[in-house]
Amino acid sequence: MSSPETVYDAIREATSDVVVGNDDVLEGLTVALLTDGHVLLEGVPGVAKTTIANAFARALGLSYGRVQMTPDMVPADVSGTNVYQQATGEFQLRKGPVFSNLVVADEINRATPKTQSALLEAMEESTVTIENQTLELPRPFMVVATQNPIEMEGVFELPEAQRDRFQLKYTVDVPSRPDEREVLDRFDNAPSLDAEDVPQVVEREEVLAASEAVSDVFVADPVKEYILDIVSGTRDSPALRYGGSPRATLAFLRGSKARAAIRGRSYVIPDDVKALAEPVLVHRVIRTTDAELAERSVTDVIAEVVDGIAPPGADVSFTETESVEATGERDTGETTDGTEPDPKPLTDGAEPETDRSDSETIE
């Protein structure tokens, strides 16, 4: 089960009894996990933001730490501290909840900037420094932060520098009526249904192996240019004061490779990049005053930028090919009848799934 595709399918199956809908959020969590990224979830209270993260961690058998952020918290509440033991007369390190594979920072915008910054080193370096002692965090390591878009009194908005460290951001919406009816029926039949009921279906070693497989996914030069065009488009947009950073460019690269891998492909197509445009950029770009006064949402501006950029055409080969030594050119990778060759499997013996990728189009 070390292929990204089988790992993702196992997670979906294991969490399906507890998580209704929100497939895009579950996919985003998987993408971030396999690429050492972090996720910001935003939604009104009661839409299962924390439950999704908890169920995700339990399906993977990962250690899970939750921090309920409040204004009176200090950095040591997150990272830990040395505690004096009177019996031995020595200081003993008491690790904080950040020493977990998956850390949920609940309502992160209720903590002070000083406490929020305690997560910065952990998110960027996967280390924590406590009294001049640098400690490694476990692998895999991932931060899932949640925030509430209402009740903004007494909160501290995340600074741009910290928002940029989250690879992806998703909005967890109120469920549709059919999904909410499904929730009613499930809890009517099993009132105690909870994320703790999710079985472990993936081992830690399989997660690490799947992450290695993602790094082998091929990205053709036209797709890389497409990524650069989108990020540059946000910087040149008259509706945006600040566009995507180079970290956003890398988030596109890593995220699109993981998205391709969990669909059974060993190569990235433009649809992978396009699907990640909003979650990669929505928390990074900043609108101009005119755009705010015109009530143009960030998502609308991002959609305009993406729609204004032509993706690589269907005549471009996105699969990895061998170079031709005689000419120094890259083989087109096309078969003699002009059809696209079969995708290279990610792992030996793993059959790539085609039903998800076949539904995607290349514009």
Q: Digits of tens for pLDDT over the chain (363 positions)?
A: 579 999 999 999 999 889 988 999 999 999 999 999 999 999 998 899 999 999 999 999 889 999 999 888 998 999 998 898 888 888 888 899 999 999 999 999 888 888 888 888 888 888 998 888 889 999 999 999 999 887 666 678 888 888 999 999 999 999 999 999 999 998 898 888 888 889 999 999 999 999 999 999 999 999 999 999 999 999 999 999 999 999 999 999 999 999 999 999 999 999 999 999 999 999 999 999 999 999 999 999 999 999 999 998 766 778 876 433 333 444 434 443 434 445 545 544 444 444 444 444 444
Going along the chain from its start, the domains and CATH numbers come out as 4-74+100-179 (3.40.50.300), 214-347 (1.10.8.80)
Instruction: Please tell me the distance from the alpha carbon of residue 301 to that of residue 144, in angstroms, as a whole number.
Output: 26
Alpha-carbon distances, residue 195 vs 3, 15, 18, 261 (angstroms): 25, 8, 6, 26
Identify the pLDDT of residue 346: 52
Angle at 9 between CA 5 and CA 15, to 5 degrees: 145
Where b means 16+ CB within 10 Å and e means fewer, 181-192 reads: eebeeeeeeeee
Using CA atoms, how far residue 339 sits from 136, 151, 353, 356, in Å, is 48, 55, 18, 19
> What local confidence, expressed as pLDDT, does residue 334 receive?
41
Alpha carbon distance 227, 230 (integer Å):
5
**pLDDT of the residue at 184:** 92
Task: Give the span between the Cα atoms of 282 and 240, in whole angstroms.
Answer: 11
Beta bridge partners of 105: 67, 145
3-state secondary structure 276-293: CHHHHHCCCCEECHHHHH
pLDDT at res. 21: 86
pLDDT in the model for residue 185: 93
CA–CA distance, 254 with 224 (Å, rounded to integer): 11
Axis-axis angle for helices 4-15, 246-261 (nearest 10): 80
pLDDT of res. 148: 85
